[in-house]
Amino acid sequence: MADKQAPDQVFRSGALKDPKLPRPGFPAQTQPFPGLASKMEPRPDHGEASYRGTGRLNGKRALITGGDSGIGAAAAIAFAREGADVAINYLPDEQQDADSVIAAIEAEGRKAIAIPGDITDEGFCASLVEQAVSALGGLDVLVNNAGRQQFCEDLTDLTTESFDATMKTNVYAPFWITRAALPHLENGASIIITSSVQAFSPSAILFDYAQSKAANVAFAQSLAKQLAPRGIRVNAVCPGPYWTALQVSGGQPTEKVEVHGKKEPLARPGQPVEIAPIYVLLASDEASYITGEYFGSVGGSGL
């Protein structure tokens, strides 16, 4: 089951120069937002065939937004292999990708909860948390990972609707979801937010997105201070160029998708599985002195 969606590049040696890792010179491709990982060429590697767990999250219960594909899917699969039960949220159009992640979690004998719905709706965000808590029997780890990135070359072409949708998805939703989750989180809980290298090095064509990702870093830094007395940790992850549906569904112009990651010293994009270990560490009890921080995985340029 889990293998059905596995990418062709199922073998990773772990070496930086593994020749099997996909490199720029990617086929031209574009999909309507939010895009499907299963329709990408090559398919992103979420760790389906390679991530090995060692029980670092045994018994934990996690909710991951955008858990159907890309970085969220890699975190969901890794969490399950580390012993966690996992609920994923995604948009209804992404059911196909979500099904394969649910199958991968279930293949580990863990509870997998699928909760489709649009997080730009405040009421849905509250209901998402309630559904996850009730199905999982509580909540220990919240990963605010869903994101919207739509490039726009000229500010005068950026509509209020598009700006608003970016802010609702990337800034309001993490606030709404976290506020709803807080009454359920106890000492030892972990909140993770997916920011971006864009928080520190904004691209000309990602004006709204870059601002939202800078807000995500402040989210972690502020909330970590507020929640430390309760024993709840909050951290941000700041990926660089990763090979995900976000990029091929309006995140970048097609000609940039073809060379995604080429400018980095590693000269390729990261595969989602390659960032999963950061999420695992931040979710685990091993990170008990790690809060209010941000962590990059950018391909060699650093944050």
Q: Which does 193 bind (CB under 5 to 8 A by kind): ligand NAD, Mg ion, none?
A: none
Q: What is the DSSP string of 127-184?
A: HHHHHHHHHHTS-SEEEE--------S-GGG--HHHHHHHHIIIIIHHHHHHHHHGGG
Q: Which does 38 bind (CB under 5 to 8 A by kind): ligand NAD, Mg ion, none?
A: none
206: exposed, middle or buried (C-beta count within 10 Å: 0-12, 13-18, 19+)?
Answer: buried
Q: Which of 5, 38, 65, 69 binds Mg ion (CB under 5 A)?
A: 69
* Contact (Cβ atoms closer than 8 angstroms) between residue 238 and residue 196: yes
* Residues with catalytic function: 209
Considering the complex, what minimum distance in angstroms separates the CB of residue 146 from ligand NAD? 3
Considering the complex, what minimum distance in angstroms separates the CB of residue 57 from ligand NAD? 20
Distance CA 224, CA 6 (A): 36
Q: Does 191 bind ligand NAD (CB under 6 A)?
A: no
Distance CA 143, CA 152 (A): 27
Q: Between residue 222 and residue 251, which ones bind ligand NAD under the rule CB under 6 A?
A: 239, 241-242, 244-247
Q: Does 189 bind ligand NAD (CB under 6 A)?
A: no
Q: Which of 94, 140, 208, 274 binds Mg ion (CB under 5 A)?
A: 94
Nearest-5° angle of CA 212, CA 64, CA 10?
A: 105
Q: Between residue 30 and residue 89, which ones bind ligand NAD under the rule CB under 6 A?
A: 34-35, 37, 65-66, 68-72, 89
Could you list the residues that contact ligand NAD (CB under 6 A)? 34-35, 37, 65-66, 68-72, 89-91, 94, 118-120, 145-149, 169, 194, 196, 239, 241-242, 244-247
